[in-house]
């Protein structure tokens, strides 16, 4: 039974609303059916998104497993967020249409939407930018990115915003419309970069040979070989500093594993240089003390 929002004539004092119990019962049953169908559709979408994640995990080979998992999680999050909004909106309109005439509401909503569209340009920009971010695969859930002055791991992404968690555990919410330049720190591979400072009196050619041996042993260690990509590189002298000579080396590793690789490399380098008797760079500060002639009164 629908109650018109705009009756054709104004009710008089003697008019009372008449309700048909059987029709109300049928409307309530229809509303229940609509809600059950909406719930089943959402469960179906949840099952589909789980299948997407599982398929992405199975379809990638071992070298691309992490990449495939991230792609599946990103796509699953997008499908879930869009399906939730669509199913909820349609179910709500269908239930309301059983009891009231929603056509005037829809017409009024159209006018309100037109009025709000002028003030919702930022929201529209967020959605458009988020769509192209997902379409162009600029980053995915699990990637570590730097955007809008914030660096962290992507925890969740929708057409509206991106959720990041930085190294201190702080969660940042970045609207997609504020994304101008994105730096993806874990796309395909990451780089473990280490600078080693040695004293000036050390033979630099010997130092380079020792460091090449260290990174080669690291790359062929069974505990680390699975995360190393390609051959390690000892680039050479990076800088002539105040306290010594800085030598740069790097190892390409799997996405997100650069921090632990850098810590292990520094540990091995320190132990090896100590064993080889190679002195590390030490910053020195020289103080010059000047004797001033006595002032008045002998002070």
pLDDT tens, 17-49?
555 667 777 878 888 888 888 888 888 888 887
d(CA 35, CA 244): 72
Q: How far is residue 3's CA from residue 15's CA, in Å, rounded to a whole number?
A: 14
Confidence check: pLDDT of 59 > 70: no
User: pLDDT at position 98, please?
Assistant: 77
Closest to 53 measured CA to CA, from 140, 137, 127, 132:
140
How, if at all, do strands 233-240 and 245-253 pair? antiparallel
Kindly list the structural domains of the chain, giving each domain's residue range(s) and its CATH number in brackets, ordered by start: 21-118 (1.10.287), 132-184 (2.30.30.60), 190-276 (3.30.70.100)
Grade residue 275 by pLDDT with cuts at 50, 70 and 90.
very high
How far is 156 from 255, CA to CA, in rounded Å?
18
The two tokens of residue 94 are 């269908």
DSSP letter at 292? P
Average pLDDT over the chain, rounded to an integer: 79
State the pLDDT confidence band at 204, using cuts at 50, 70 and 90.
Answer: very high
pLDDT for 108 equals 58
Task: Please state the pTM of the whole predicted model.
Answer: 0.54
- Order of strands, sheet of 233-240, starting from the edge strand that comes earlier in the sequence: 190-198, 245-253, 233-240
């Amino acid at each position: 039974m629908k109650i018109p929002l705009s009756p054709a004539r104004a009710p008089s004092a003697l008019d009372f609303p008449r309700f048909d119990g059987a029709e109300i019962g049928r409307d309530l049953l229809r509303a229940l059916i609509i809600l059950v169908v909406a719930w089943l559709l959402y469960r179906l979408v949840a099952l589909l998104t789980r299948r997407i994640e599982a398929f992405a995990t199975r379809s990638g080979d071992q070298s691309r497993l992490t990449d495939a998992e991230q792609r599946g999680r990103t796509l699953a999050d997008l499908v879930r967020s869009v399906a939730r909004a669509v199913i909820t909106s349609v179910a709500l309109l269908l239930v309301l249409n059983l009891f009231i005439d929603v056509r005037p509401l829809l017409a009024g909503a159209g006018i309100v939407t037109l009025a709000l569209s002028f003030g919702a340009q930022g929201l529209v920009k967020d959605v458009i930018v988020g769509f192209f971010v997902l379409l162009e695969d600029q980053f995915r859930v699990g990637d570590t990115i730097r955007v809008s002055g914030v660096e962290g791991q992507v925890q969740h992404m929708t057409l509206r915003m991106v959720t990041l968690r930085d190294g201190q555990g702080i969660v940042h919410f970045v609207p997609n419309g504020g994304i101008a330049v994105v730096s993806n720190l874990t796309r395909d591979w990451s780089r473990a970069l280490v600078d080693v400072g040695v004293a000036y009196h050390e033979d630099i050619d010997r130092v380079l040979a020792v460091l090449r041996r260290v990174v080669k042993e690291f790359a062929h260690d069974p505990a680390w070989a699975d995360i190393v990509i390609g051959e390690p590189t000892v680039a050479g002298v990076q800088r002539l500093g105040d306290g010594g000579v800085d030598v740069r080396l790097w190892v390409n590793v799997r996405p997100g594993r650069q921090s632990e690789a850098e810590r292990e490399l520094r540990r091995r380098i320190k132990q090896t240089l100590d064993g080889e008797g190679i002195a590390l760079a030490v910053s020195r500060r020289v103080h010059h003390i000047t004797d001033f002639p006595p002032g008045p009164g002998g002070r």
